[in-house]
Amino acid sequence: MKILITGAGGRLGAALMREYQRKFEVTGFNHAQLDLSNPDQIRERIGTASFDVLINAAAFTSVDLCETQRNQAFQINAEAPRLLAEICRDKDAKLIHFSTDYVFDGKKRAPYTEEDEANPISVYGESKLAGEKNVLAAEGPHLVVRVSWVFGPDRPSFIDGLIKGAQENDQVDAIWPVGARLLSEVRPAH
């Protein structure tokens, strides 16, 4: 199976690259190699590549910057996933698109499920929800995976902040994150 990973330089993408390259033929694009704000570059690089599964682990994830760069957030988090889904549909390939729990408002006091109504309260959440809808609207065997608080060894993370907080305070309140390695062990079916 040939797998293509966007966001290969990020925390999740790097973990997926490490895990899958031992078992599959894997190609990855980091931000310098593929600018998701550039539709022509997406068509050129992804449209001409040969793959069975495309894993989109790339996103504009800076919640604060999304508030001031709304157009960029929607281009990368909503329009690029639409284009990726359409390319996959045309190639008869599967898209696995990673999204976020920021599509919810956080008011529910129990775990969210895919049946819960999304209600984003930030531009980041709005753009990611639009991306989910765009992916699912494209015909094809596409999958949207919502995750929260991904951490891993490739860059400073929420866990690093927790450790620092625990060293400096008697108590740390937090919602537990999901590890990039754990997510990388989810096997794409083809």
Count of Cβ atoms closer than 10 Å to residue 80 Cβ: 27
Among 20, 102, 112, 124, the active-site one is 124
**Does the annotation mark 124 as catalytic?**
yes
End-to-end Cα separation, the chain, in angstroms:
8
Q: For residue 161, what pLDDT is reported?
A: 73
List 95's β-bridge partners, or say none.
Answer: 54
4/25 Cα distance (integer angstroms)? 9
pLDDT score recorded for residue 183: 65
> What's the pLDDT at 163?
76
pTM across the whole model: 0.83
Could you tell me which residue, 162 or 60, shows the higher pLDDT?
60
Measured distance CA(103)–CA(59) in Å, rounded: 14
Taking the C-alpha atoms of residue 23 and residue 107, their distance in angstroms, rounded to an integer, is 41
- Give me the pLDDT at residue 168, please: 86
pLDDT at 190 over 60: no
Q: How many CA atoms lie within 13 Å of 175's alpha carbon, on the beta-carbon side?
A: 10
Q: Are 54 and 28 in contact (CB under 8 A)?
A: no
Distance CA 82, CA 131 (A): 7
Convert the pLDDT of each residue in 54-74 to its tens digit. Answer: 999 999 988 999 999 999 999
What would the mean pLDDT of 149-175 be, rounded to a whole number?
73
pLDDT mean across residues, the chain = 89
pLDDT at 13 over 90: yes
What residues contact residue 154 under an 8 Å CB cut-off, 6+ apart? 10, 11, 14, 15, 180
Residue 151 has pLDDT above 80, yes or no: no
Q: What is the pLDDT of residue 2?
A: 97
Asked if residue 79 lies in contact with residue 32, where contact means CB atoms within 8 angstroms, the answer is no
pLDDT tens figures, 74-93: 999 999 999 999 999 999 99
